[in-house]
Amino acid sequence: MFIIQNYTTAVLCCFITMLCWGSWANTQKLAGKTWRFELFYWDYVAGILLFSILSAFTLGSFGEQGRSFVEDLDQADISNMVSALIGGIIFNAANILFSAAIAIAGMSVAFPIGIGLALVLGVLINYIGVQKGNAVMLFTGVVLVTIAIIINAVAYKKASTGDQKVSTKGIVISLIAGLLMSFFYRFVAASMDIENFEQPQAGKMTPYTAVFIFSVGIFLSNFVFNTILMKRPVVGEPTNYAAYFKGRFSTHMVGVLGGLIWGLGNSLNLLAAGKAGPAISYGLGQGATLVAALWGVFIWKEFINAPAGTNKLLAAMFLFFVAGLALLIYAGF
């Protein structure tokens, strides 16, 4: 199977993760013009599962390093499989709320609040699990990211005046989603042998197998979480499965594309964790907040009618985010 061999490559993969995790929501924005996000989300989840299967039987099975996907799945302990499965369930609960927050408040609100909180708490949780990296640099970077989030909150308050009012419900849902999101990665990382992907200890899984089980957890739990949300949506009228099957093929494919994009980022991030450590890998990946904020501000024009002074706050937010991410990278050297 394909394994990352050095820290530099791991950081590069984390940057790809950042781009993927910060960009997949554009597919929701595109589909949302004619398609309820609850219906979009079924295709998104299918895309995540599809990517996990494709990567497992290609990069996860070819080559001489490590165990192949089928061999690894066959020897995996039930406890480790359950751990990855729980990670998928927690992620799905968080992400479906996060998708709702995007639908209500937009990318430039949901990402900095929800994923920003997930970054701060997630780095702490994953560092406690595997203490890899310079703690001072790591947590100084987290502090800078936290400052960026606070600045962002001030920007939202300024933007909440007049016609550009920011939904309080969207902010609250973003916070809940971020809290849940901070826990999923630890369960997936615990199911793998982080110290040795090439010859993982018996019972532990390779990243490819862990990602597949994780994705199954997302898919199965969606029949519970998304069904409830379809019947009792946080915004709009209830919908149903009949409406889903009435969707155009091209609309469904937009959702699948979103899942494929997120799945690529997730797989590369977990592969990078072997060299960078879960805390650094997760933290850099969740720098997706910066990417999504750029999309929201410059492409979707979500702050176009904001009052004077908002742009300076957004610029300061980006500056602190970049400085924080730079320290997260330095923490691994």
Torsion, Cα 8 10 13 15, to 10 degrees, reads: -70
- Which tens digit of pLDDT belongs to each residue from 121-154? 999 999 999 999 999 999 999 999 889 878 877 7
Helix and strand numbers (H, E) in the chain are 15, 0
Q: Which residues pair with 205 in a beta bridge?
A: 192
173 contacts 234 by C-beta, under 8 angstroms: yes
Share of the chain above pLDDT 90, in %: 70
Q: At what angle do helices 207-231 and 168-190 cross, to 10 degrees?
A: 150
What's the pLDDT score for residue 298? 84
Helices (H), 130-206: 135-159, 168-190
Average pLDDT over residues 243-270: 97
**287, two tokens:** 């720098």
Q: Angle at the Cα of 186 (from 182 to 188), degrees rounded to 5?
A: 120
Domain assignment present for 9: no
Say if residue 116's pLDDT is above 90.
Answer: no
Domain assignment present for 271: yes
With cut-offs at 50, 70 and 90, classify the pLDDT of residue 190. Answer: very high
DSSP string, 250-300: HHHHHHHHHHHHHHHHHHHHHHHHHHH-HHHHHHHHTTHHHHHHHIIIIIS
Domain range for residue 243? 29-330
The CA distance from 241 to 124, in Å, is 40
- Which tens digit of pLDDT belongs to each residue from 63-96? 888 899 999 999 999 999 999 999 999 999 999 9
DSSP-derived 3-state class of residue 197: coil
Domain assignment present for 100: yes
Share of the chain above pLDDT 70, in %: 97
Domain assignment present for 126: yes
Phi, psi of 197, deg, nearest 5: -75, -30
DSSP-derived 3-state class of residue 18: helix
Domain assignment present for 20: no
Q: What is the pTM of this model?
A: 0.92
- Which tens digit of pLDDT belongs to each residue from 216-238? 999 999 999 999 999 999 878 99
SS percent in the chain: helix, strand, coil, step 5: 75, 0, 25
Domain assignment present for 11: no
User: Which helix (H) or strand (E) segment is 80 a member of?
Assistant: helix 78-105
27 contacts 261 by C-beta, under 8 angstroms: yes
* CA-closest candidate to residue 227, choices 211, 244, 212: 244
96 contacts 174 by C-beta, under 8 angstroms: no
Judged by phi (left if over 0) then psi (alpha if -120 to 50, else beta), residue 76 lies in beta
185 contacts 282 by C-beta, under 8 angstroms: yes
The CA distance from 117 to 42, in Å, is 25
31 contacts 225 by C-beta, under 8 angstroms: no
With cut-offs at 50, 70 and 90, classify the pLDDT of residue 273. Answer: very high
Number of domains in the chain: 1
Number of other CB atoms surrounding residue 129 within 10 Å: 17
Residue with tokens 């606070």, as numbered in its chain: 150
Half-sphere exposure of 23 (CA within 13 A, CB side): 13
300 contacts 107 by C-beta, under 8 angstroms: yes
**327, two tokens:** 């320290």
Domain assignment present for 22: no
Say if residue 156's pLDDT is above 90.
Answer: no
The CA distance from 204 to 192, in Å, is 5
